[in-house]
Structure 1
Amino acid sequence: MLTVRYFAGARAAAGGLSSEPVEAETLEELTSLLAERHGERLAMVMKAASFLVDGLTCHDRAAPLPANATIDVLPPFAGG
């Protein structure tokens, strides 16, 4: 079981949730499941988002996720 934490616009797109449990093997699977669960608005945010897996940036959406990992969904932030 993974813990997904939402920040800024991702939190708003997920209906105000700050975190939720999800079962997924990869970021591809995770983003697909979350898009189905929360709709197109979150799907669009996740297309541009960065992901931290247990605090480390993950660019490979097909890489296996560790069991019990915490996934942070970080949308692009405005400003400096």
Structure 2
Amino acid sequence: MESVTVRYFAGARAAAGRTSDAVPAGLDRDGFVTELTRRHGDGLGRVLAVASFLVDGTVWHDRHAPLPAGATVDVLPPFAGG
């Protein structure tokens, strides 16, 4: 099975309980969120609902674009600043 690497940052890392994961290639954004929520629970699901996603360093704008094999997805929750 070809896969995609997922890297969690800040609140996403805390909610997932890990720094990284792997998911199957070919998922669209809804499938990606569903798979990670299934694995790690509703706490991560709430973070994913407001997070930004970078695929190989580029913002994942097209919700229907499938993840290519070997890609890296960075999960970036909103950051608080002060």
What TM-score results when the alignment is normalised by the length of structure 2?
A: 0.90
Query: What residue ranges of structure 1 are gaps of 5+ in the alignment?
Result: none
Aligned to 1:71: 73
Runs of 4+ displaced beyond 3 Å: none
- Give unmatched runs, 5+ long, in structure 2: none
For 1:44 and 1:60, the matched residues in 2 are separated by 20
8 Å CA contact 2:9–2:75 kept in 1: the answer is: yes
* Structure 2 Cα separation of the partners of residues 23 and 34 of structure 1: 11
Which residue does 2:4 correspond to in 1? 2
Aligned residues of 1:10 and 1:75 also touching (Cα < 8 A): yes
Partner residue of 1:14?
16
Q: What percent of counterpart residues are identical?
A: 61
SS of the residue 2:61 aligns to = coil
| Number of corresponding residues | 79
1:32 aligned residue: 34
